[in-house]
Structure 1
Amino acid sequence: MKIAITTWHEGPNAGTFFQCYGLYHYLKNRNHDVTVIDYIHQPDDILNRGFMYYFTQLIPLIKNKINRNKKRKEEAILTKQFANEIRKRDERVSKFWQMILFTNRITTQADFDKLNDKFDAFIVGSDQVWNATMLNRRYFLDYVKPGKIKAAFGPSVGVGSVLPTQRKAYKTYVKDFNLVAVREKLLCDILNEELPHIKAKHLLDPSMLIPREEYLKMAKLPEGIEAGSYLLCYFAPNTKHQEEVVRKYAKEKNLRIVVMAMFGYSWTMKNDIIICPDPSEFLGLISNAAAVFTSSFHCTIFSILFHRNLFVFERKQLSKSADINQRYTEQLSTYGITHRYIPWGQSLNDEILKPIDYNHVENIFQLRLSESKKFLNQLF
């Protein structure tokens, strides 16, 4: 079967790469002809957010704009300071994207219409393509003609609450999908309330479709890093407190601190090993860490996959609708390890430090993996 995947597929973020590669790789291994649609998010394709969105979010939106402008200035300074490292990282990452077959760049309505002549089925991939605050009609496959298979596997709602206008958009654009599986239970529940006939499923992120052993073969530790000798950081904190928590733990355990630098703040952590990782280094650094401190969704699930000593920081948000913490807390809850969540401003304590029962975690993971494969196999 000729299958087209629509999802995010640009940038240096390893999580973005693996969610795309995971679905692509799995379907290819089932002998399908798979291609990723080369579409880049366009402002004109964003659905109208509605009056209530702006009315209820006015103050948070203003604060967010101020913070975003400030952050952009800081990022610009840091990007210039570490331009050489970032350039080398981006060059390495671009080689990984070459492992995936893409269409030509799709920009016009005519381009989208022609895709119907080339593919039998269309599937929306993961990441925040169904983020309630920036719903994009193209990620709802609005161009797919009747008679073609329309499916979704792993889209993320991205935020902690969904407004009535956003629920209406989901109902309007998802009603004619053949099968739907999403990343968060929040969105799964909403879809089943609004569209009970589609029987939406709450399944794995597609990055988890690739066997652990295969990822370990891809994994690479950067030069000078010894397995098990370091604590890994991958987060975007708004406060020095998280850094203090990390430093105290590293000192007590006699561990080096290795920072995977993706966000501006990471570059400011002094006396640490700062690394701009490509996807293979992302895997290597997580799988060989003595402990992982993060506020990243994909770093969280890969740490669980590799049975790491994981700690997840809460991110401070301006409003409930902008709260992305449910993406992490849901994962911890699913696997019975909510005690490894560090609330905003809190330090480590005996409860948080309780060991993770990875035998229990693995049993749950294997069950969810089986359900995820069964879902895809019944469609393709």
Structure 2
Amino acid sequence: MRIGTITVQNGNNYGASLQAFALIKYLRKNGWDAYLIDYRNQKIEDRLTEQSFITSWRGKNQIKKNIRIILSNAIWKTDRFVKEKNKAFSEFHKSIFDQSGGTLYDVSELKKLNSLYDAFICGSDQIWNKDITGLDDAFFLSFANSDKKRIAYAPSLGKESGAIVEEDYDIYRHKLRSIDFLSIREPNNKKFIETVTHRECCVVLDPVLLLDKQEWEEEILNVSPIIQKGYALYYPVINQPELEKYAIQKAREKGIKLFNPRLVPSYAKMKGYTAISSKPVGPIEFVKLIKESECIFTNSFHATVFSSIFNKELYVIKLKGKNKNRNNRIIEYLKMIGIRQSLIDTSDLIHIKDFESTMQWENVTERKKESVEYLKKSLDYNS
């Protein structure tokens, strides 16, 4: 059986790339001929372009942003850094992309894939988060013919169900009709999906947890060290000055260096970071960084998951304001793995010093069993 998976992978985001890789790796390991479809969601493409390139000189805010881009390129060589980082992500994706399908930018182009695949899987990551993807039809498999197996594996809404506005209920109800087998990543979204579809929805693990610790260690075995050991890792998916300040302070108290893989090296030095990489960090190097770090400061779901896999001391400061809903992903994961409620809810700071002493791995083992059964049932149905 030939399987095409579709997810958000064009944002140069470590977690997004690694979950896409992990699902393909797991499917291939278990005998399925699986590939990642190289689909570029337009909303994400536009955001990346706006952040890094000059697109217009109209409006005062656009002019200010363009000036910042020009100065950043002149002083910090940001354009060169972005180009090299893009290359690192492209190289990582090569082994999982379906080269025959080409790069696709519109859902209508995806219809031709029906001649190449027997089944389609959408997921994981925040493909069903309106703020991220605009609820792109591609991530609801609208292009797949009814004779194909259409499966959702661990998509995320990126927020608690209560944060979804009422007018979006009918949109989800309509779009989810294209999918034969429904699953979700965050447990507190299960009821919402079942309410709008009147169908069963399974709760399954993020794909990175389909591979065990030993398998991830094998993947990074031959990866060259990015920086010397004896460092803390600060990785914000959302810029969070409060967490950055805290990370700098704690790293100084611990007497270790601090590294931020998102920053251009020369700019990182200016900001006071003391661990610097001479080249951009790709997705698999990111896993190595976590494995060899002393501790992690993050608001990233996947950095949190890898911290638990490699038993790293973790610091999370809950996001506030318009990004508050993003806390849901991390909190739901920590609850699922059995982290004590007191460590999660008592303050804005979540600090886990030792995962092995607090984590209930049997919860992960049981959920992995359920996740594997869900995939097998979905893919073997009427085959």
Same fold (TM over 0.5): yes
- Which residue in the other structure is 1:315 paired with? 319
1:259 partnered with 2:263: no
CA contact (8 A) 2:259 2:273 kept: no
CA contact (8 A) 2:141 2:178 kept: no
Q: 2:91 aligns with which of 95, 100, 105?
A: 95
- Which residue in the other structure is 2:113 paired with? 115
- Which residue in the other structure is 1:373 paired with? 372
Taking the TM superposition and a 5 Å limit, the aligned residue runs for 1:236-251 are 240-251=241-252
1:324 partnered with 2:310: no
CA contact (8 A) 2:338 2:363 kept: no
CA contact (8 A) 2:233 2:258 kept: yes
Q: Residues of 2 paired with 1:38 and 1:11: CA distance?
A: 12
Q: Residues of 1 paired with 2:77 and 2:95: CA distance?
A: 27
Instruction: Check 1:330–1:121 CA distance in 2 against 1; reply closer, same or farther (3 A cut).
Output: same
- Which amino acid in structure 2 is aligned with residue 147 of structure 1? D
Q: 1:169 aligns with which of 160, 165, 171?
A: 171
- Which residue in the other structure is 1:54 paired with? none
CA contact (8 A) 1:116 1:145 kept: yes
> What secondary structure sits across from 1:5 in the alignment?
strand
- Which residue in the other structure is 1:273 paired with? 275
Instruction: Check 1:239–1:35 CA distance in 2 against 1; reply closer, same or farther (3 A cut).
Output: closer
The CA deviation string for residues 217-267 of structure 1, in whole angstroms up to 9 with x for no partner, is 2223535412xx221110156564323322332233222212222699x84
CA contact (8 A) 1:286 1:302 kept: yes
Q: Residues of 1 paired with 2:41 and 2:261: CA distance?
A: 26
Taking the TM superposition and a 5 Å limit, the aligned residue runs for 1:163-312 are 163-197=165-199, 199-219=200-220, 220=223, 222-226=225-229, 229-235=230-236, 240-261=241-262, 267=268, 269-275=271-277, 276-312=280-316
CA contact (8 A) 1:183 1:203 kept: yes
> What secondary structure sits across from 2:286 in the alignment?
helix
For structure 2, which runs of at least 5 residues remain unmatched after alignment? 44-59
- Normalised by the length of structure 2, the TM-score is 0.80
Between the aligned residues of both structures, percent identity stands at 26
Instruction: Check 1:340–1:89 CA distance in 2 against 1; reply closer, same or farther (3 A cut).
Output: farther
Aligned residue pairs total 350
For structure 1, which runs of at least 5 residues remain unmatched after alignment? 44-65
Taking the TM superposition and a 5 Å limit, the aligned residue runs for 1:349-364 are 352=351, 355-358=354-357, 360-364=359-363
CA contact (8 A) 1:314 1:341 kept: no
State the Cα RMSD in Å: 3.3
Displacement of 1:340? 5.2
Displacement of 1:126? 1.3
Q: Residues of 2 paired with 1:144 and 1:371: CA distance?
A: 26
The CA deviation string for residues 261-301 of structure 1, in whole angstroms up to 9 with x for no partner, is 2699x846314224431122201110111111101111111
- Which amino acid in structure 2 is aligned with residue 213 of structure 1? Q
Displacement of 1:163? 1.2
CA contact (8 A) 1:234 1:259 kept: yes
- Which residue in the other structure is 1:157 paired with? 157
Instruction: Check 1:205–1:86 CA distance in 2 against 1; reply closer, same or farther (3 A cut).
Output: same
Q: Residues of 2 paired with 1:319 and 1:258: CA distance?
A: 24
- Which amino acid in structure 2 is aligned with residue 123 of structure 1? I
- Normalised by the length of structure 1, the TM-score is 0.81
Q: Residues of 2 paired with 1:182 and 1:110: CA distance?
A: 25
Instruction: Check 1:319–1:70 CA distance in 2 against 1; reply closer, same or farther (3 A cut).
Output: farther
Q: Residues of 2 paired with 1:332 and 1:237: CA distance?
A: 19
Q: 1:131 aligns with which of 114, 117, 129?
A: 129
- Which amino acid in structure 2 is aligned with residue 114 of structure 1? K
Displacement of 1:79? 5.5
Q: Residues of 1 paired with 2:320 and 2:304: CA distance?
A: 17
Displacement of 1:152? 0.4
